[in-house]
Amino acid sequence: LSELEALMERMKRLQEDKEDEEASQEEMATRFEKEKKESLLVISGGICAFSVPFSFDDEIVSTDVSRYIEDPGFGYKDFARRGEDHLPTFRAQDYTWENHGFSLVNRLYSDIGHLLDEKFRMVYNLTYNTMATHEDVDTTTLRRALFNYVHCMYGIRYDDYDYGEVNQLLERSLKVYIKTVTCYPERTTKRMYDSYWRQFKHSEKVHVNLLLMEARMQAELLYALRAITRHLT
């Protein structure tokens, strides 16, 4: 099977399995913890989880971003140290964008919540119902896996989501690309962009980038707004 056909087959199988039997809460929690720990091992442009090498370093261009920041040490840091047994988890049902963050940010800055919410929804729901040359394809499962994987990298867990879907739908090279774009965008190279979903249209892959960026923004907002909420109460 080609990469595209294999991905579509996995999507179909996941849908059939979901209709037959749903995973227990305990199983879903275990799968999240596994995915969360493995995401810490994914190194941008270097080595992915399971020690699979990716030789992207030769194309990484040294980018001077110092002109855009005041703190030279500013940059992404993993939410936990590698090797820790008990990694912190942000339980989404305790503080969600829809039920908590949206109303607070609207209170702090009039109407900005509506604009952000519209942006999140538009990018998340954007689809041509296509996958490369295939038409009339429901891509909801794939879009949800991409969005939730970014949140998983930031330690955010949704109790009603089976993270086994992430591991089945997102291949290792794509996970490296996701972490690079989300956490170290200045290291992104064309070779990395070309390394995944080779049969997909550029418009579809650009949509992936938009989805990753909006997922990251929402994750950052959730942490910040939760901290403000705790301070106010």
Average pLDDT for residues 12-35, to the nearest whole number?
86
Which pLDDT tens digit goes with each residue over 101-126? 999 999 999 899 999 999 999 999 99
Please give the C-alpha separations between residue 233 and each of 206, 229, 230, in angstroms, as whole numbers. 41, 6, 5
pLDDT score, position 30: 92
Residue ranges per structural domain of the chain: 3-232
Q: Please state the pTM of the whole predicted model.
A: 0.86
Q: What is the DSSP string of 130-173?
A: EETTEES---HHHHHHHHHHHHHHTTEE-TT--THHHHHHS-HH
Which has more pLDDT, 139 or 41? 139
Average pLDDT for residues 81-103, to the nearest whole number?
86
